[in-house]
């Protein structure tokens, strides 16, 4: 499957909106494009899907072994081409090697054989952008830079000067985007405001696509796509139970697509429900899974969702319930909002969390389960990550897991367990 990986020298250059515009423009050109996202990110894949109509999957070289990376990439299936989006800068990752790499977009490009389309923010420079592009082209001989898209171009003269420098360096330019192109999306504390919360998103994506058709040589972009032709078999993920009730709404949306799709492909029945709509989980579910998300923004609504909370408590009497990050917070006694108001939660764990005292917790994590989580046995080793601003005020139950960061240092957030109920701030990506 031929592909390209959209990356940049750093965060904040516009690669997400460029990716979305390309996905929409290529779809409008009657191409079936399979999107991917490099690294741990739950928000961008939903935008990818909105832009091109196909589910987007994460590819993570730190958390995923080679077989899983290849299997996830095989979800491209019958697409005409792949368009993957990197995270941070092309070569940015962690210091210690993980399952197959350091968590960089370059790791994925190298393994899959996808050339890189580099997005360059040239505000404040002109010909000098060629030195940046040339450095990226020469830094790793196993990573091919197909060319660049110039972003935030101030004027036709500015574009001519930048193109002249890049031509002298032998770097292909696929196009240039003006500085005031309205290529921005609203953000909040964990990244972009979710796709499902944005009114007028489809119209914005149409504008992005139109701009790409006008400013970018889409035929050249397609012709630049390449691949090593990796084939893969096996499963994406083994399900932790047969009938899984999964909370799904704007407060509970941080569940990696390859896990959910893997559970389905393995024969598990996924039974979605919405706590925000006060829906109870299915009575015949074997497991309730509460993903992460933004419960801190909806704590009052969740506290008042008595049908949901009653169903959750009834299930927990004799069957497993697990919460990740935001889902973990909802399983506790109380969630303190940013304004200091304490909201009563499910009370299934002796946990109190606060969003009023905000501190960033971020990074890759290795975890060893100290107790089972449904079909995941005690002793199971997992790879994942942590990303939240909430702090633990009280945690009175035994730890669920032993957790270390990417360098092997112990992490204090171990999760907790009580009876059939478990949870942690750890987001699972793969078995270690």
Q: Which sequence positions are flagged as catalytic?
A: 325
| Nearest-10 Cα torsion for 26, 27, 32, 35 | 80
Handedness of CA 220, 221, 227, 232 (dihedral sign): negative
- Measured between its terminal Cα atoms, the distance across the chain in Å is 27
Q: Can you read off the two tokens belonging to residue 385?
A: 């990550």
Which contacts qualify for 52-59: CB closer than 8 Å, 24 or more apart? 52/23, 52/24, 52/26, 52/27, 53/27, 54/79, 55/257, 55/261, 56/257, 57/257, 57/258, 57/261, 58/256, 58/257, 58/258, 58/429, 59/84, 59/108, 59/112
Buried-state track 197-221, b at ≥16 Cβ within 10 A, e below 16: eeeebeebbbebbebbbebbbbeeb
Q: Can you read off the two tokens belonging to residue 226?
A: 């390449």
Neighbours of 383 (CB within 10 A): 23
CB 431 within 8 A of CB 383: yes
Euclidean distance between CA atoms 315 and 425, whole angstroms: 22
Indicate the DSSP class of residue 73. Answer: H
Euclidean distance between CA atoms 213 and 208, whole angstroms: 9
CB 120 within 8 A of CB 149: yes
Euclidean distance between CA atoms 182 and 20, whole angstroms: 13
CB 15 within 8 A of CB 35: no
Euclidean distance between CA atoms 66 and 73, whole angstroms: 11
């Amino acid at each position: 499957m031929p592909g390209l990986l959209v990356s940049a020298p750093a965060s904040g250059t516009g690669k997400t909106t460029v990716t979305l515009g390309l996905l929409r423009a290529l779809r409008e050109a009657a191409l079936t494009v399979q999107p991917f996202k490099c690294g741990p990110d739950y928000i961008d894949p939903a935008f990818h899907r909105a832009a091109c109509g196909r589910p987007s999957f994460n590819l993570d070289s730190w958390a995923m072994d080679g077989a899983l990376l290849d299997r996830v990439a095989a979800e491209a299936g019958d697409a005409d081409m792949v368009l993957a989006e990197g995270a941070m800068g092309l070569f940015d990752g962690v210091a210690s090697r993980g399952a197959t790499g350091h968590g960089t977009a370059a790791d994925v490009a190298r393994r899959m054989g996808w050339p890189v389309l580099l997005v360059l923010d040239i505000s404040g420079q002109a010909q000098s952008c060629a030195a940046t592009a040339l450095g990226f082209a020469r830094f790793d001989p196993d990573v091919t830079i197909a060319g660049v898209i110039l972003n935030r171009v101030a004027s036709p003269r500015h574009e001519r000067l930048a193109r002249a420098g890049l031509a002298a360096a032998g770097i292909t330019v696929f196009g240039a985007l003006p500085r005031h192109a309205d290529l921005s999306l609203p953000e909040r504390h964990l990244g972009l405001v979710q796709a499902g919360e944005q009114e007028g998103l489809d119209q914005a994506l149409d504008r992005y696509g139109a701009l790409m058709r006008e400013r970018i040589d889409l035929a050249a972009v397609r012709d630049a796509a390449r691949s090593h032709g990796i084939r893969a078999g096996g499963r994406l993920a083994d399900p932790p139970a047969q009938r899984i009730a999964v909370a799904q709404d704007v407060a509970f949306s941080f569940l990696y697509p390859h896990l959910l799709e893997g559970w389905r492909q393995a024969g598990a029945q996924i039974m979605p429900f919405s706590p925000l709509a006060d829906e109870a989980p299915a009575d015949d579910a074997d497991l309730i899974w509460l993903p992460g998300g933004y419960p801190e923004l909806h704590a009052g609504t969740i506290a008042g969702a008595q049908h949901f909370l009653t169903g959750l408590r009834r299930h927990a009497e004799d069957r497993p319930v697990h919460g990740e990050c935001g889902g973990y917070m909802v399983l506790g006694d109380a969630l303190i909002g940013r304004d200091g108001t304490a909201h009563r939660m499910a009370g299934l764990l002796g946990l109190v969390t606060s969003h009023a005292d905000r501190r960033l917790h971020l990074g890759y994590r290795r975890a060893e389960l100290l107790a089972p989580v449904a079909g995941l046995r005690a002793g199971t080793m997992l790879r994942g990550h942590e990303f939240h601003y909430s702090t633990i005020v009280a945690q009175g139950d035994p730890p669920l897991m032993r957790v270390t960061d990417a360098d092997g240092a112990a992490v204090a957030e171990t999760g907790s367990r009580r009876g059939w109920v478990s949870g942690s701030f750890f987001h699972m990506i793969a078995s270690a």
